[in-house]
């Protein structure tokens, strides 16, 4: 049932109530209240569905010269998507000791420290593979990302007797399979989160390119809390603020919140059967990510409103900016794109399948 049909049915119900005798009306008062709530729910959902982004979404915010989102990938052809921004030298090695549990996000996570004193965040569950591939592909296009590595097996010492989340994923003697490990850099400090609607880059080609990248990878969980700002100091650039999408786990699956995580994240069938571009206008393009959430969200009004309000991120993007990021990505070789998925532990068949879809989408962008 589409929204128009639902509306007609609801208003017919309300109109019918006017013909009921008073005594019967009183007997059905609770039914009347429920129908009024349904009508109110429909009107509220329609308002958020039809509403475009607020003025702040298209009006550049006052930024700082030290704020950085993207940098020119001059060495793009030489970038190794098998290891990502940290390179082979930063791979997790040696003994890992449990520090504490991380209760943020939907997938179970905890912190560990290696023998050199470096801290890592270990993410278990279905997001480990797609997040690694997405981070490496996004970094290849010049965007800042976390240093993520997929690790087929790791042994963690000092684990508590019971974790609040993910205990069923831990084997004997602290052995854990198929995890994503995020390296914490010693010269950076998290300063907070940034907002899709209000940030120093709104309206720029690089920001629009990031919006396209989210659509290309079917990264649909675009909550502001999944974005991070880090204060970083380097010998060459000095102190500056890095803006990045810090949680890319909901990638390479469906185009929006689905019935199961297995379908929504890192699912080749869902990804290859999804629609990339919604509509091409003379000056703008609408992408199909993120889409409306699954019907289950219609019973959770706050969540539904939140998801509906994310839809603008993939819409009304200048064609020139979408073509720009497509031309940039076209500089990657098929082998580099395949390496992004090899780095995430996918099977050879999955590597070929995911890479083929990515290359097809890049070609679509270059034709805009």
How does pLDDT run across 228-279, given as a tens digit for each residue?
999 987 766 667 899 999 999 999 999 998 878 889 999 999 999 999 999 9
Pick 339 or 38 by higher pLDDT.
Answer: 339
Give the predicted TM-score (pTM) of the model.
0.82
In 10 A of CB 238, how many CB atoms?
Answer: 9
Q: Which helix (H) or strand (E) holds 340?
A: helix 334-342
Q: Is 98 in a helix, a strand, or coil?
A: strand
What are phi and psi for residue 260, nearest 5 degrees?
A: -135, 150
Q: Which of 272, 344, 347, 340 is nearest to 128 (CA)?
A: 344
Q: Which of 331, 366, 271 is nearest to 137 (CA)?
A: 331
**Cis before residue 290, ω within 30 degrees of 0?**
yes
pLDDT (tens digit per residue) in 189-221? 999 999 999 999 999 999 999 999 999 999 999
Percent of the chain with pLDDT over 90: 69
pLDDT (tens digit per residue) in 91-113? 999 999 999 999 988 899 999 99
């Amino acid at each position: 049932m589409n929204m128009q049909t639902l509306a007609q049915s609801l208003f017919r119900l309300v109109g019918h109530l006017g013909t009921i005798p008073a005594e019967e009306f009183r007997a059905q008062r609770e039914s009347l209240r429920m129908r009024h709530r349904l009508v109110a729910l429909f009107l509220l959902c329609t308002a958020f569905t039809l509403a475009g982004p607020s003025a702040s979404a298209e009006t550049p915010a006052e930024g700082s010269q030290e704020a950085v989102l993207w940098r020119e990938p001059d060495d793009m052809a030489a970038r190794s998507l098998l290891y990502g921004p940290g390179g082979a030298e930063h791979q997790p090695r040696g003994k890992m000791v449990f520090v504490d549990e991380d209760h943020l996000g939907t997938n179970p996570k905890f912190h560990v420290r290696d023998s050199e004193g470096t801290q890592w965040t270990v993410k278990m569950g279905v997001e480990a593979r797609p997040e690694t591939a997405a981070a490496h592909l996004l970094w290849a296009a010049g965007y800042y990302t976390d240093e993520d590595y997929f690790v087929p097996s790791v042994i963690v010492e000092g684990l508590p007797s019971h974790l609040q989340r993910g205990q069923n994923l831990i084997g004997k003697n602290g052995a854990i399979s198929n995890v994503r490990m995020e390296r914490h850099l010693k010269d950076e400090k998290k300063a907070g989160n940034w907002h899709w609607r209000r940030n120093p880059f709104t309206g720029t080609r690089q920001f629009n390119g990031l919006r396209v990248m989210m659509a290309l990878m079917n990264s649909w969980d675009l909550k502001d809390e999944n974005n991070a700002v880090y204060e970083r100091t380097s010998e060459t650039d000095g102190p500056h603020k890095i803006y990045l999408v810090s949680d890319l786990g909901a990638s390479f699956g469906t185009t929006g919140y689905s019935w199961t995580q297995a379908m929504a994240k890192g699912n080749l069938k869902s990804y290859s059967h999804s629609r990339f571009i919604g509509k091409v206008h003379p000056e703008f393009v609408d992408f199909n990510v993120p889409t409306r959430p699954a019907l289950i969200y219609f019973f959770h009004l706050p969540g539904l409103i939140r998801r509906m309000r994310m839809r603008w991120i993939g819409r009304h993007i200048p064609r020139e900016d979408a073509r720009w990021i497509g031309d940039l990505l076209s500089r990657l070789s098929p082998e580099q794109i395949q390496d992004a998925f090899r780095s995430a532990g996918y099977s050879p068949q999955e590597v070929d399948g995911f890479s083929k879809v990515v290359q097809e989408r890049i070609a679509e962008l270059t034709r805009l």
